[in-house]
C-alpha cells in the first residue's frame, strides 16, 4: 500500500524501467533470430523451406 503520491510514483517509475529493459532484451533476441544466417553459405538456416 502506498502512503504518499511520491511512493506511488517511485514504484510505477521503477516498474516502467524494468518493463522497458525486458522489452529491449526481447527485441534484440528477436532481431537476432530473424537475421540468423548459416555461417558457411550465408543463407538463412531454413533456406530450403522458404517459398519465393
- pLDDT of 49 strictly over 80: no
CA distance 43 to 32: 14
Instruction: Indicate the pLDDT class of residue 35, thresholds 50, 70 and 90.
Output: confident
For the chain, the domains span 1-34
- pLDDT of 27 strictly over 80: yes
CB 38 within 8 A of CB 45: yes
Mean pLDDT value of segment 43-51 = 64
Mean pLDDT value of segment 8-32 = 96
**How far, in Å, are 2, 5, 32, 44 from residue 13 at the CA level?**
14, 12, 29, 40
pTM: 0.64
Instruction: Indicate the pLDDT class of residue 45, thresholds 50, 70 and 90.
Output: low
Amino acid at each position: 500500500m502506498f502512503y504518499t503520491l511520491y511512493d506511488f510514483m517511485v514504484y510505477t517509475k521503477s516498474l516502467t524501467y524494468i518493463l522497458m529493459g525486458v522489452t529491449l532484451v526481447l527485441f534484440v533476441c528477436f532481431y537476432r533470430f530473424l537475421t540468423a544466417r548459416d555461417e558457411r553459405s550465408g543463407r538463412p538456416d531454413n533456406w530450403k523451406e522458404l517459398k519465393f
